[in-house]
Protein backbone atom coordinates (compact mmCIF):
# COMPACT_ATOMS: atom_id res chain seq x y z
CA UNK A 1 0.00 0.00 0.00
CA UNK A 2 1.31 3.43 -0.95
CA UNK A 3 1.67 5.94 1.87
CA UNK A 4 1.48 9.61 0.93
CA UNK A 5 2.47 12.73 2.83
CA UNK A 6 -0.22 14.49 4.87
CA UNK A 7 -2.20 17.55 3.79
CA UNK A 8 -0.19 20.74 4.09
CA UNK A 9 3.12 18.95 4.53
CA UNK A 10 5.35 19.00 1.48
CA UNK A 11 8.64 17.58 0.31
CA UNK A 12 11.29 19.88 -1.05
CA UNK A 13 12.90 17.82 -3.77
CA UNK A 14 16.24 18.13 -5.54
CA UNK A 15 15.67 20.63 -8.32
CA UNK A 16 13.69 22.84 -5.91
CA UNK A 17 15.98 22.68 -2.92
CA UNK A 18 18.68 24.64 -4.77
CA UNK A 19 16.53 27.79 -4.53
CA UNK A 20 16.24 27.20 -0.78
CA UNK A 21 20.00 26.86 -0.43
CA UNK A 22 20.47 30.07 -2.36
CA UNK A 23 18.06 32.00 -0.12
CA UNK A 24 19.53 30.56 3.08
CA UNK A 25 23.06 31.39 1.97
CA UNK A 26 22.14 35.00 1.20
CA UNK A 27 20.33 35.28 4.54
CA UNK A 28 23.44 34.16 6.41
CA UNK A 29 25.49 36.62 4.41
CA UNK A 30 23.29 39.59 5.23
CA UNK A 31 22.88 38.60 8.89
CA UNK A 32 26.67 38.50 9.25
CA UNK A 33 26.91 42.03 7.84
CA UNK A 34 24.48 43.28 10.49
CA UNK A 35 26.17 41.30 13.27
CA UNK A 36 23.36 38.84 13.93
CA UNK A 37 24.19 35.41 15.38
CA UNK A 38 22.34 32.17 14.75
CA UNK A 39 20.28 30.49 17.44
CA UNK A 40 18.74 27.02 17.10
CA UNK A 41 15.70 26.42 19.24
CA UNK A 42 13.62 23.25 19.69
CA UNK A 43 10.65 22.48 17.45
CA UNK A 44 8.55 21.38 20.44
CA UNK A 45 7.84 23.61 23.44
CA UNK A 46 5.42 23.60 26.35
CA UNK A 47 2.01 24.77 25.13
CA UNK A 48 1.79 27.56 27.71
CA UNK A 49 4.82 29.29 26.15
CA UNK A 50 2.70 30.01 23.08
CA UNK A 51 -0.65 30.58 24.76
CA UNK A 52 0.95 33.10 27.12
CA UNK A 53 3.08 34.93 24.55
CA UNK A 54 0.80 34.91 21.52
CA UNK A 55 -2.42 35.60 23.44
CA UNK A 56 -5.40 33.34 23.99
CA UNK A 57 -7.61 35.10 21.44
CA UNK A 58 -5.31 34.77 18.47
CA UNK A 59 -6.19 32.44 15.59
CA UNK A 60 -2.97 30.55 16.19
CA UNK A 61 -3.72 29.69 19.80
CA UNK A 62 -7.46 29.25 19.29
CA UNK A 63 -7.32 26.73 16.49
CA UNK A 64 -4.05 26.37 14.60
CA UNK A 65 -1.56 24.79 16.99
CA UNK A 66 -0.47 21.16 16.84
CA UNK A 67 -0.81 20.26 20.50
CA UNK A 68 -0.52 16.87 22.17
CA UNK A 69 -0.22 15.48 25.71
CA UNK A 70 3.26 15.17 27.19
CA UNK A 71 3.48 11.49 28.07
CA UNK A 72 6.29 12.21 30.54
CA UNK A 73 4.34 14.77 32.57
CA UNK A 74 0.71 14.00 33.28
CA UNK A 75 -1.69 16.82 32.51
CA UNK A 76 0.76 18.98 30.59
CA UNK A 77 0.69 19.71 26.89
CA UNK A 78 3.31 20.16 24.22
CA UNK A 79 3.04 22.11 20.97
CA UNK A 80 4.90 22.11 17.66
CA UNK A 81 6.20 25.67 17.43
CA UNK A 82 3.85 27.88 15.36
CA UNK A 83 6.42 30.71 15.21
CA UNK A 84 9.94 31.46 16.42
CA UNK A 85 9.83 34.57 18.58
CA UNK A 86 8.44 32.95 21.73
CA UNK A 87 11.08 30.21 21.68
CA UNK A 88 13.90 32.71 21.14
CA UNK A 89 12.66 34.85 24.04
CA UNK A 90 12.37 31.73 26.21
CA UNK A 91 15.94 30.71 25.34
CA UNK A 92 17.23 34.23 26.03
CA UNK A 93 15.71 34.02 29.50
CA UNK A 94 16.63 30.43 30.23
CA UNK A 95 20.31 30.90 29.33
CA UNK A 96 20.25 34.31 31.05
CA UNK A 97 21.86 35.82 27.97
CA UNK A 98 20.93 39.28 29.26
CA UNK A 99 23.35 38.91 32.21
CA UNK A 100 26.42 38.78 29.99
CA UNK A 101 25.31 41.18 27.29
CA UNK A 102 21.76 42.48 27.33
CA UNK A 103 21.67 43.38 23.65
CA UNK A 104 21.36 40.27 21.49
CA UNK A 105 20.85 40.12 17.74
CA UNK A 106 19.74 36.61 16.87
CA UNK A 107 18.49 34.84 13.78
CA UNK A 108 16.99 31.41 13.18
CA UNK A 109 15.73 29.36 10.30
CA UNK A 110 13.56 26.28 10.24
CA UNK A 111 10.08 24.80 10.09
CA UNK A 112 7.00 26.13 11.90
CA UNK A 113 3.62 24.40 12.19
CA UNK A 114 0.10 25.78 11.94
CA UNK A 115 -3.10 23.96 11.11
CA UNK A 116 -4.29 26.44 8.49
CA UNK A 117 -6.16 25.85 5.26
CA UNK A 118 -3.36 24.90 2.84
CA UNK A 119 -3.12 27.06 -0.28
CA UNK A 120 -0.50 28.29 -2.71
CA UNK A 121 2.53 29.46 -0.75
CA UNK A 122 0.93 28.48 2.57
CA UNK A 123 1.53 25.08 4.11
CA UNK A 124 0.97 23.56 7.54
CA UNK A 125 4.66 22.84 7.90
CA UNK A 126 6.19 26.03 6.60
CA UNK A 127 9.66 27.50 6.87
CA UNK A 128 10.71 30.82 8.24
CA UNK A 129 13.89 32.82 8.40
CA UNK A 130 13.51 35.05 11.42
CA UNK A 131 15.48 37.56 13.42
CA UNK A 132 15.07 39.11 16.85
CA UNK A 133 16.90 42.01 18.46
CA UNK A 134 16.52 41.87 22.23
CA UNK A 135 17.50 44.70 24.55
CA UNK A 136 17.20 47.76 22.34
CA UNK A 137 14.30 50.22 22.69
CA UNK A 138 15.68 52.82 20.27
CA UNK A 139 14.07 53.53 16.88
CA UNK A 140 17.44 53.10 15.14
CA UNK A 141 17.21 49.36 15.49
CA UNK A 142 13.66 49.28 14.07
CA UNK A 143 15.00 51.07 11.00
CA UNK A 144 18.05 48.79 10.94
CA UNK A 145 16.03 45.57 10.66
CA UNK A 146 14.01 47.13 7.83
CA UNK A 147 17.21 48.08 6.00
CA UNK A 148 18.52 44.57 6.60
CA UNK A 149 15.39 43.18 4.93
CA UNK A 150 15.78 45.52 1.98
CA UNK A 151 19.42 44.43 1.59
CA UNK A 152 18.38 40.79 1.80
CA UNK A 153 15.66 41.17 -0.84
CA UNK A 154 18.06 42.92 -3.16
CA UNK A 155 20.71 40.24 -2.56
CA UNK A 156 18.32 37.44 -3.56
CA UNK A 157 17.00 39.48 -6.48
CA UNK A 158 13.44 39.98 -5.27
CA UNK A 159 11.89 42.93 -7.04
CA UNK A 160 8.75 44.88 -6.40
CA UNK A 161 8.29 44.13 -2.70
CA UNK A 162 6.58 46.99 -0.89
CA UNK A 163 7.12 47.98 2.74
CA UNK A 164 3.96 48.80 4.66
CA UNK A 165 4.45 50.42 8.01
CA UNK A 166 2.37 51.16 11.09
CA UNK A 167 2.74 51.95 14.76
CA UNK A 168 0.59 50.04 17.22
CA UNK A 169 1.24 52.38 20.14
CA UNK A 170 2.03 51.06 23.58
CA UNK A 171 0.43 50.53 26.99
CA UNK A 172 0.06 54.32 27.32
CA UNK A 173 -1.93 55.01 24.21
CA UNK A 174 -3.29 51.76 22.80
CA UNK A 175 -6.10 51.43 25.39
CA UNK A 176 -7.52 54.77 24.22
CA UNK A 177 -7.45 53.64 20.61
CA UNK A 178 -8.90 50.27 21.51
CA UNK A 179 -11.84 51.98 23.17
CA UNK A 180 -12.49 54.24 20.18
CA UNK A 181 -12.24 51.33 17.75
CA UNK A 182 -14.54 49.14 19.83
CA UNK A 183 -17.16 51.90 19.96
CA UNK A 184 -16.91 52.24 16.17
CA UNK A 185 -17.25 48.48 15.66
CA UNK A 186 -20.18 48.12 18.06
CA UNK A 187 -22.25 50.50 15.95
CA UNK A 188 -21.65 48.21 12.98
CA UNK A 189 -21.58 44.86 14.74
CA UNK A 190 -24.29 43.25 12.58
CA UNK A 191 -22.20 43.69 9.44
CA UNK A 192 -19.11 41.94 10.81
CA UNK A 193 -18.34 38.29 10.14
CA UNK A 194 -19.20 35.80 12.90
CA UNK A 195 -15.56 35.41 13.87
CA UNK A 196 -15.07 39.14 14.36
CA UNK A 197 -18.35 39.51 16.28
CA UNK A 198 -17.18 36.83 18.64
CA UNK A 199 -13.73 38.22 19.38
CA UNK A 200 -14.45 41.93 18.94
CA UNK A 201 -14.73 42.64 22.69
CA UNK A 202 -11.53 40.88 23.62
CA UNK A 203 -9.42 41.90 20.67
CA UNK A 204 -11.00 44.62 18.49
CA UNK A 205 -7.74 45.30 16.60
CA UNK A 206 -7.97 41.87 15.02
CA UNK A 207 -11.05 42.98 13.09
CA UNK A 208 -8.80 45.30 11.05
CA UNK A 209 -6.82 42.23 10.04
CA UNK A 210 -9.86 40.22 8.89
CA UNK A 211 -9.84 39.34 5.20
CA UNK A 212 -13.65 38.87 4.96
CA UNK A 213 -15.04 41.31 2.40
CA UNK A 214 -17.77 42.55 4.79
CA UNK A 215 -15.25 43.33 7.54
CA UNK A 216 -12.89 45.10 5.14
CA UNK A 217 -15.86 47.21 3.99
CA UNK A 218 -17.09 48.06 7.51
CA UNK A 219 -13.66 49.08 8.76
CA UNK A 220 -12.80 51.28 5.79
CA UNK A 221 -13.53 54.41 7.82
CA UNK A 222 -12.45 53.03 11.19
CA UNK A 223 -10.41 55.34 13.42
CA UNK A 224 -6.67 55.11 12.75
CA UNK A 225 -4.24 54.17 15.50
CA UNK A 226 -1.88 56.81 14.13
CA UNK A 227 -4.27 59.52 15.39
CA UNK A 228 -4.10 58.11 18.93
CA UNK A 229 -0.34 57.72 19.48
CA UNK A 230 1.06 59.32 22.65
CA UNK A 231 3.99 61.72 22.37
CA UNK A 232 6.61 59.03 23.04
CA UNK A 233 5.20 56.65 20.46
CA UNK A 234 4.77 59.45 17.94
CA UNK A 235 8.42 60.54 18.42
CA UNK A 236 9.67 56.94 18.16
CA UNK A 237 7.72 56.34 14.97
CA UNK A 238 8.86 59.70 13.60
CA UNK A 239 12.52 58.75 13.94
CA UNK A 240 11.96 55.33 12.32
CA UNK A 241 10.37 57.04 9.33
CA UNK A 242 13.05 59.72 9.07
CA UNK A 243 15.82 57.10 9.09
CA UNK A 244 14.05 55.16 6.34
CA UNK A 245 13.66 58.28 4.24
CA UNK A 246 17.34 59.18 4.81
CA UNK A 247 18.26 55.70 3.54
CA UNK A 248 15.89 56.04 0.59
CA UNK A 249 13.79 53.12 1.68
CA UNK A 250 10.26 53.78 0.40
CA UNK A 251 7.32 52.78 2.53
CA UNK A 252 3.58 53.25 2.77
CA UNK A 253 1.78 53.91 6.01
CA UNK A 254 -0.89 51.31 6.57
CA UNK A 255 -2.86 51.71 9.83
CA UNK A 256 -4.59 48.36 9.15
CA UNK A 257 -1.44 46.39 9.94
CA UNK A 258 -2.12 45.11 13.45
CA UNK A 259 -0.13 41.87 13.34
CA UNK A 260 -2.02 38.87 14.66
CA UNK A 261 -0.26 38.59 17.97
CA UNK A 262 -0.91 40.34 21.25
CA UNK A 263 2.70 41.05 22.07
CA UNK A 264 3.37 43.61 19.36
CA UNK A 265 3.69 47.33 20.13
CA UNK A 266 4.89 50.42 18.28
CA UNK A 267 6.54 49.63 14.93
CA UNK A 268 4.73 46.96 12.91
CA UNK A 269 5.44 46.17 9.29
CA UNK A 270 4.80 43.88 6.37
CA UNK A 271 6.63 43.46 3.10
CA UNK A 272 4.15 42.52 0.43
CA UNK A 273 4.24 41.53 -3.20
CA UNK A 274 1.25 42.02 -5.47
CA UNK A 275 2.30 38.88 -7.32
CA UNK A 276 1.37 36.71 -4.35
CA UNK A 277 -2.36 37.45 -4.52
CA UNK A 278 -4.31 37.88 -1.29
CA UNK A 279 -1.78 36.04 0.89
CA UNK A 280 0.70 38.64 -0.13
CA UNK A 281 3.09 39.16 2.80
CA UNK A 282 6.57 37.84 2.17
CA UNK A 283 7.96 39.12 5.49
CA UNK A 284 6.39 40.66 8.56
CA UNK A 285 7.37 41.76 12.00
CA UNK A 286 7.58 44.53 14.50
CA UNK A 287 8.35 45.58 18.02
CA UNK A 288 7.34 43.54 21.08
CA UNK A 289 8.63 45.36 24.15
CA UNK A 290 6.49 43.47 26.67
CA UNK A 291 7.11 39.88 25.64
CA UNK A 292 10.21 38.96 27.66
CA UNK A 293 8.67 40.46 30.79
CA UNK A 294 5.41 38.58 30.15
CA UNK A 295 7.46 35.39 30.12
CA UNK A 296 8.88 36.17 33.56
CA UNK A 297 12.08 37.99 32.58
CA UNK A 298 13.41 41.48 33.19
CA UNK A 299 11.89 44.32 31.14
CA UNK A 300 13.51 43.79 27.73
CA UNK A 301 12.49 45.55 24.55
CA UNK A 302 12.48 43.50 21.36
CA UNK A 303 12.01 43.89 17.64
CA UNK A 304 12.05 41.23 14.96
CA UNK A 305 10.62 39.75 11.81
CA UNK A 306 10.02 36.50 9.98
CA UNK A 307 10.35 35.83 6.26
CA UNK A 308 8.07 33.20 4.71
CA UNK A 309 10.39 30.89 2.79
CA UNK A 310 7.75 29.22 0.59
CA UNK A 311 6.47 32.55 -0.67
CA UNK A 312 9.92 34.00 -1.21
CA UNK A 313 11.08 30.92 -3.12
CA UNK A 314 7.86 31.03 -5.17
CA UNK A 315 8.55 34.63 -6.16
CA UNK A 316 12.16 33.90 -7.05
CA UNK A 317 11.27 30.82 -9.07
CA UNK A 318 8.80 32.86 -11.11
CA UNK A 319 11.89 34.77 -12.20
CA UNK A 320 14.48 32.05 -12.77
CA UNK A 321 15.03 28.41 -12.02
CA UNK A 322 18.21 27.76 -10.13
CA UNK A 323 20.58 25.07 -11.41
CA UNK A 324 21.66 22.15 -9.30
CA UNK A 325 25.44 22.11 -8.80
CA UNK A 326 27.15 20.33 -11.70
CA UNK A 327 28.94 17.07 -11.39
CA UNK A 328 32.63 17.48 -12.20
CA UNK A 329 33.55 14.04 -13.49
CA UNK A 330 31.80 10.88 -14.61
CA UNK A 331 33.95 7.76 -14.78
CA UNK A 332 32.98 5.47 -17.65
CA UNK A 333 34.46 2.01 -17.13
CA UNK A 334 34.66 -1.27 -19.03
CA UNK A 335 35.45 -4.68 -17.53
CA UNK A 336 36.22 -5.82 -14.00
CA UNK A 337 39.64 -4.16 -13.92
CA UNK A 338 38.08 -0.92 -15.17
CA UNK A 339 35.45 -1.05 -12.43
CA UNK A 340 37.99 -1.74 -9.68
CA UNK A 341 40.18 1.10 -10.87
CA UNK A 342 37.26 3.50 -11.24
CA UNK A 343 35.91 2.73 -7.76
CA UNK A 344 39.18 3.55 -6.02
CA UNK A 345 39.90 6.53 -8.30
CA UNK A 346 36.44 7.94 -7.52
CA UNK A 347 37.15 7.69 -3.81
CA UNK A 348 40.57 9.37 -4.12
CA UNK A 349 39.19 12.20 -6.23
CA UNK A 350 36.24 12.77 -3.88
CA UNK A 351 38.66 13.02 -0.98
CA UNK A 352 40.38 15.80 -2.88
CA UNK A 353 37.11 17.68 -3.29
CA UNK A 354 36.07 16.66 -6.80
CA UNK A 355 32.45 15.62 -7.41
CA UNK A 356 32.64 12.19 -9.08
CA UNK A 357 30.03 9.60 -10.09
CA UNK A 358 30.12 6.21 -11.81
CA UNK A 359 27.85 3.26 -12.59
CA UNK A 360 27.89 0.24 -10.31
CA UNK A 361 26.99 -2.36 -12.91
CA UNK A 362 28.34 -3.00 -16.38
CA UNK A 363 26.45 -0.85 -18.89
CA UNK A 364 27.15 -0.08 -22.52
CA UNK A 365 29.44 2.85 -23.29
CA UNK A 366 26.50 4.65 -24.85
CA UNK A 367 24.33 4.22 -21.78
CA UNK A 368 27.13 5.41 -19.48
CA UNK A 369 27.67 8.50 -21.65
CA UNK A 370 23.93 9.23 -21.50
CA UNK A 371 24.01 9.09 -17.71
CA UNK A 372 27.04 11.43 -17.64
CA UNK A 373 25.08 13.87 -19.78
CA UNK A 374 22.01 13.65 -17.58
CA UNK A 375 24.05 14.42 -14.47
CA UNK A 376 25.57 17.43 -16.21
CA UNK A 377 29.13 16.16 -15.83
CA UNK A 378 31.79 18.63 -16.97
CA UNK A 379 34.22 15.82 -17.83
CA UNK A 380 34.06 12.16 -18.69
CA UNK A 381 36.95 9.76 -18.28
CA UNK A 382 36.89 6.45 -20.14
CA UNK A 383 38.75 3.55 -18.53
CA UNK A 384 39.03 0.05 -19.93
CA UNK A 385 41.56 -2.78 -19.73
CA UNK A 386 43.41 -1.36 -22.71
CA UNK A 387 43.73 2.13 -21.24
CA UNK A 388 44.94 0.77 -17.93
CA UNK A 389 47.57 -1.31 -19.73
CA UNK A 390 48.80 1.78 -21.61
CA UNK A 391 48.88 3.91 -18.46
CA UNK A 392 46.94 6.72 -20.11
CA UNK A 393 43.26 7.67 -20.19
CA UNK A 394 41.15 9.87 -22.40
CA UNK A 395 39.49 12.84 -20.76
CA UNK A 396 36.57 14.36 -22.61
CA UNK A 397 35.39 17.89 -21.95
CA UNK A 398 31.60 17.61 -22.23
CA UNK A 399 31.12 21.31 -23.03
CA UNK A 400 33.74 21.76 -25.76
CA UNK A 401 33.84 18.06 -26.81
CA UNK A 402 37.63 18.30 -26.77
CA UNK A 403 39.50 15.13 -25.83
CA UNK A 404 42.94 14.89 -24.34
CA UNK A 405 45.14 12.06 -23.20
CA UNK A 406 46.30 12.05 -19.59
CA UNK A 407 48.87 9.91 -17.81
CA UNK A 408 47.11 7.86 -15.12
CA UNK A 409 49.62 8.82 -12.46
CA UNK A 410 49.08 12.54 -13.17
CA UNK A 411 45.31 12.26 -13.28
CA UNK A 412 44.40 13.78 -9.91
CA UNK A 413 46.68 16.80 -10.31
CA UNK A 414 45.49 17.38 -13.87
CA UNK A 415 41.85 17.27 -12.86
CA UNK A 416 42.39 19.57 -9.92
CA UNK A 417 44.24 22.02 -12.15
CA UNK A 418 41.45 22.00 -14.73
CA UNK A 419 38.73 22.41 -12.20
CA UNK A 420 40.43 25.32 -10.48
CA UNK A 421 41.22 26.81 -13.87
CA UNK A 422 37.49 26.77 -14.62
ZN1 LIG B 1 -14.19 39.46 10.14
ZN1 LIG C 1 2.20 55.37 23.17
Residue 138 alpha carbon to ligand 2 centre in Å:
14
Residue 172 alpha carbon to ligand 2 centre in Å:
5
CA–CA dist 252, 249 (Å, integer): 10
pLDDT in tens, 236-256: 999 999 999 999 999 999 999
Residue 268 alpha carbon to ligand 2 centre in Å:
14
- The pLDDT, as a whole number, for residue 254 is 93
Residue 256 alpha carbon to ligand 2 centre in Å:
17
Spell out the residues 6+ positions from residue 273 whose beta carbon is closer than 8 angstroms to its own: 158, 160, 161, 162, 280, 282, 311, 315
Residue 227 alpha carbon to ligand 1 centre in Å:
23
The ligand that comes nearest to the alpha carbon of residue 208 is 1
Strand 281-287, strand 302-308: pairing: antiparallel
Contact (CB, 8 A) for 39 and 91: yes
Provide the b/e sequence for 352-389 (b: ≥16 CB within 10 Å): eebbbebbeeeeeeeebbebbeeeebbbbbbbbeebbe
The ligand that comes nearest to the alpha carbon of residue 289 is 2
The ligand that comes nearest to the alpha carbon of residue 59 is 1
Q: Report the predicted TM-score, pTM, of the whole model to 2 decimal places.
A: 0.90
pLDDT in tens, 12-25: 998 889 999 999 99
Residue 238 alpha carbon to ligand 2 centre in Å:
12
Residue 137 alpha carbon to ligand 2 centre in Å:
13
The ligand that comes nearest to the alpha carbon of residue 169 is 2
Residue 265 alpha carbon to ligand 2 centre in Å:
9
Residue 48 alpha carbon to ligand 2 centre in Å:
28
Domains of the chain: 17-173+229-319 (3.30.930.10), 329-420 (3.40.50.800)
The ligand that comes nearest to the alpha carbon of residue 211 is 1
Residue 193 alpha carbon to ligand 1 centre in Å:
4
- The pLDDT, as a whole number, for residue 148 is 98
- The pLDDT, as a whole number, for residue 417 is 83
Residue 235 alpha carbon to ligand 2 centre in Å:
9
The ligand that comes nearest to the alpha carbon of residue 185 is 1
Residue 144 alpha carbon to ligand 2 centre in Å:
21
CA–CA dist 292, 133 (Å, integer): 12
The ligand that comes nearest to the alpha carbon of residue 192 is 1
Residue 178 alpha carbon to ligand 1 centre in Å:
17
The ligand that comes nearest to the alpha carbon of residue 218 is 1
Q: What is the dihedral of CA 11, 24, 377, 403, to 10 degrees?
A: 170
- The pLDDT, as a whole number, for residue 421 is 44
Residue 170 alpha carbon to ligand 2 centre in Å:
4
Residue 142 alpha carbon to ligand 2 centre in Å:
16
Residue 219 alpha carbon to ligand 1 centre in Å:
10
Which regions in the chain score pLDDT beneath 70?
A: 121, 260-262, 278-279, 419-422
354-358 CB contacts, 8 Å cutoff, 24+ apart: 354/328, 354/329, 354/415, 354/416, 354/419, 355/325, 355/326, 355/327, 355/328, 355/329, 356/327, 356/328, 356/329, 356/330, 356/331, 357/327, 357/329, 357/330, 357/331, 358/330, 358/331, 358/332, 358/333
Residue 199 alpha carbon to ligand 1 centre in Å:
9
The ligand that comes nearest to the alpha carbon of residue 265 is 2
Residue 234 alpha carbon to ligand 2 centre in Å:
7
Residue 182 alpha carbon to ligand 2 centre in Å:
18
Residue 213 alpha carbon to ligand 1 centre in Å:
8
The ligand that comes nearest to the alpha carbon of residue 194 is 1
Amino acid sequence: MKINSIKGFADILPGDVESWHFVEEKAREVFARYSFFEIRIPIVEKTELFSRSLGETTDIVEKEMYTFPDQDAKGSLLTLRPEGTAGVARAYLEAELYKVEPVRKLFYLGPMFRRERPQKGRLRQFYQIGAEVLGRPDPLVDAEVLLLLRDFFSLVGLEGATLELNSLGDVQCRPGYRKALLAFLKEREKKLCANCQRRMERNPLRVLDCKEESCVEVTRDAPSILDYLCDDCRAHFGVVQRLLRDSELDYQLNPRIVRGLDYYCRTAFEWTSARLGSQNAVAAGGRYDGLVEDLGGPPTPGVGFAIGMERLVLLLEMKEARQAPRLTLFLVWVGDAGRAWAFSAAHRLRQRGIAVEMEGEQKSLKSQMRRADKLGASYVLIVGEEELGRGTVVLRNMDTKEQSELALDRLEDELLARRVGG
